[in-house]
Amino acid sequence: MNQDEYQAKRDFKRTNEPQGNTLKKDGHPPIFVIQKHDASTLHYDFRLEIGGTLKSWAVPKGPSNDPAIKRMAIPTEDHPMDYAWFEGPIPEGEYGGGTVMIWDKGSFDNLKTDKEGNKISLEDSYEQGNVEIFLKGERLRGGYAIIKMKSGRMAGNWLLTKMKDEHANPDFDPVKTANRSVVSGKTMEEIAKGMN
Ligand code: MN
Span 136-189, pLDDT tens digits: 999 999 999 999 999 999 999 999 999 999 999 999 999 998 899 999 999 999
CA distance 111 to 118: 10
Query: Is-contact 122 108, C-beta < 8 A?
Result: no
Q: If you measure from the C-alpha of residue 103 to the centroid of ligand 1, how many angstroms do you get, rounded to a whole number?
A: 12
Q: If you measure from the C-alpha of residue 175 to the centroid of ligand 1, how many angstroms do you get, rounded to a whole number?
A: 16
Q: If you measure from the C-alpha of residue 58 to the centroid of ligand 1, how many angstroms do you get, rounded to a whole number?
A: 6
Enumerate residues 6+ apart whose C-beta is below 8 A from 124. none
User: Hey, where are the domains in the chain?
Assistant: 4-190
User: What is the three-class DSSP state of 189?
Assistant: helix
89-126 burial, b if ≥16 CB within 10 A, otherwise e?
bbeeebbbebbbbbbbbbbbebbbeeeeeeebebeebb
Q: If you measure from the C-alpha of residue 153 to the centroid of ligand 1, how many angstroms do you get, rounded to a whole number?
A: 23
Q: How far is CA 28 from CA 47, 72, 164, in A?
A: 17, 29, 26
Longest dimension (CA), the chain: 53
More confident residue, 2 or 13: 13
More confident residue, 107 or 1: 107
Mean pLDDT over residues 57-67, rounded? 97
CA distance 120 to 57: 21
pLDDT (tens digit, 9 = 90+) per residue, 81-90?
A: 999 999 999 9
Query: Is-contact 108 48, C-beta < 8 A?
Result: yes
Residues by chain with Cβ below 5 Å of ion ligand 1: 37, 45
